[in-house]
């Protein structure tokens, strides 16, 4: 697959961005249409303990407002096949959903029968339900839960399996990554995927504007290694602790790398609104991302 070298600027990269919301946070937003371009893909994070009724209600509301809705399906939070089938059916029936982010999830110990995203895909439930798009997780800085030694052999093998699964089933698939703060690590990782024959589009995670202390807290919790070093270096400048961190420089570095080598280009940017949905949406708008223009989905 050849990706167009469209990332001449950070604003180019940001066109058609997606954003992630939590059900409780989303319920406090009076009108998403005043914040996000119509058609924006909105991921709904699955928070353990949140009733599926609430998850589906948020999905229905966003879909009715004209957004593409992509709920999370974390394997380790799903008790059994019957529950997976019920969630898929309810999202589809009550909110018209036909896309999902399928991932292992953050639980160290599974609550039930599933331990990995591959097991969810192997169930065939998404395919039987007619889901047209399935996203899976990507890890530019490795995944210590799977490979504590920092290697990527198992993760790479899993990605190759998922890419083949997409070809076998005809489903549209992309990788969506955790947020990171080191553009070079992310760009090199994307290029490495291409060298290894993994041609799934990459939707690269960026943290929206937030206090530096907040970002460091989330980075520690999510285990982002090189990125944490970048944040700690920035924290040594006390003046930067007083203003929100904004990912302008990272975005421009990613665009510069992509311009130099198209194999380093992410397909889209995925925003984690760690400092609030409004702050992330306004930042994206200031960067020129006011109109949806999805080139590679």
- The tokens of 54 are what? 């609430």
- Which pTM value belongs to this model? 0.88
Contact by Cβ (8 Å): 224, 180:
yes
User: Which residue from 84, 82, 61, 62 is spatially nearest to 74, judged by alpha carbons?
Assistant: 84
According to DSSP, the residues that pair with 136 across neighbouring strands are 102, 175
CA distance 222 to 215: 10
- The tokens of 210 are what? 């937030």
According to DSSP, the residues that pair with 181 across neighbouring strands are none
**From the centroid of its chain, how far is CA 275?**
16
What is the CATH architecture of 10-286? Alpha-Beta Barrel (3.20)
Q: What Å distances lie between residue 104 and 58, 87, 101, 138, CA to CA?
A: 22, 16, 10, 11
Rg of the chain taking only CA atoms, in angstroms: 18
Torsion sign (Cα): 140, 35, 87, 53: positive
Task: Please enumerate in sequence order all residues whose Cβ is within 8 A of that of 3, keeping only pairs 6 or more positions apart, or say none.
Answer: 201, 262, 263, 265, 267, 296
For 16: left if phi > 0, alpha if psi spans -120 to 50, otherwise beta; the answer is left
Q: Alpha helix (H) ranges present in the chain? A: 10-14, 23-26, 52-64, 81-95, 117-122, 125-129, 153-169, 183-195, 212-222, 225-235, 248-260, 277-286
Residue 41, SS3 per DSSP: strand
Tell me how many degrees the CA angle 194-190-73 measures, rounded to the nearest 5: 105
In this predicted structure, what is the pLDDT of residue 33?
Answer: 94
In this predicted structure, what is the pLDDT of residue 213?
Answer: 74
Task: Please enumerate in sequence order all residues whose Cβ is within 8 A of that of 14, keeping only pairs 6 or more positions apart, or say none.
Answer: 251, 269, 284, 287, 288, 289
Give the pairing type, strands 99-103 and 68-74: parallel
Three-state secondary structure of 217-269 = HHHHHHCCHHHHHHHHHHHCCHHHHCCCECCHHHHHHHHHHHHHCHHHCCCEE
Tens place of pLDDT per residue across the chain (297 aa)? 334 445 578 889 999 999 999 999 998 999 999 999 989 999 999 999 999 999 999 999 999 999 999 999 999 999 999 999 999 999 999 999 999 999 999 888 999 999 999 999 999 999 999 999 999 999 887 655 655 555 567 888 899 999 999 999 999 999 999 888 889 999 999 999 999 999 999 999 999 998 877 777 766 666 555 556 666 666 555 445 555 789 999 999 999 999 999 999 999 999 999 899 999 999 999 988 755 444 445
């Amino acid at each position: 697959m050849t990706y167009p070298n469209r990332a001449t600027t950070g604003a180019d990269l940001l066109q058609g961005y997606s954003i992630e919301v939590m059900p409780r946070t989303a319920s406090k937003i009076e009108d998403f249409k005043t914040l996000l371009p119509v058609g924006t893909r909105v991921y709904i994070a699955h928070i353990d303990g949140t009733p599926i009724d609430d998850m589906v209600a948020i999905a229905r509301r966003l879909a009715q407002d004209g957004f593409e809705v992509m709920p999370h399906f974390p394997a380790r939070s799903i008790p059994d096949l019957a529950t997976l089938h019920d969630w898929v059916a309810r999202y589809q029936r009550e909110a018209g959903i036909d896309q999902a982010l399928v991932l292992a999830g953050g639980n160290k110990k599974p609550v039930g029968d599933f331990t990995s995203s591959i097991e969810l895909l192997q169930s065939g439930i998404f395919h039987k339900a007619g889901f047209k798009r399935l996203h899976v997780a990507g890890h530019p800085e490795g995944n210590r839960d799977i490979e504590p030694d920092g290697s990527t052999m198992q993760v790479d093998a899993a990605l190759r399996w998922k890419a083949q699964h997409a070809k076998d089933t005809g489903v549209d698939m992309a990788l969506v990554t955790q947020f990171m703060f080191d553009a070079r690590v992310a760009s090199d990782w994307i290029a490495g995927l291409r060298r290894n024959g993994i041609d799934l589009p990459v939707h690269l995670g960026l943290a929206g504007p937030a206090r530096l202390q907040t970002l460091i807290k989330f980075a520690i919790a999510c285990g982002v290694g090189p990125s944490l070093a970048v944040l700690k270096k920035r924290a040594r400048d006390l003046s930067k602790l007083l203003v929100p961190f904004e990912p302008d420089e990272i975005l421009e570095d990613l665009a510069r790398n992509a311009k130099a080598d198209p194999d380093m280009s992410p397909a889209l940017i995925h925003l984690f609104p760690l400092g609030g949905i409004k702050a992330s949406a306004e930042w994206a708008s200031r960067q020129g991302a006011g109109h949806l223009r999805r080139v590679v989905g």
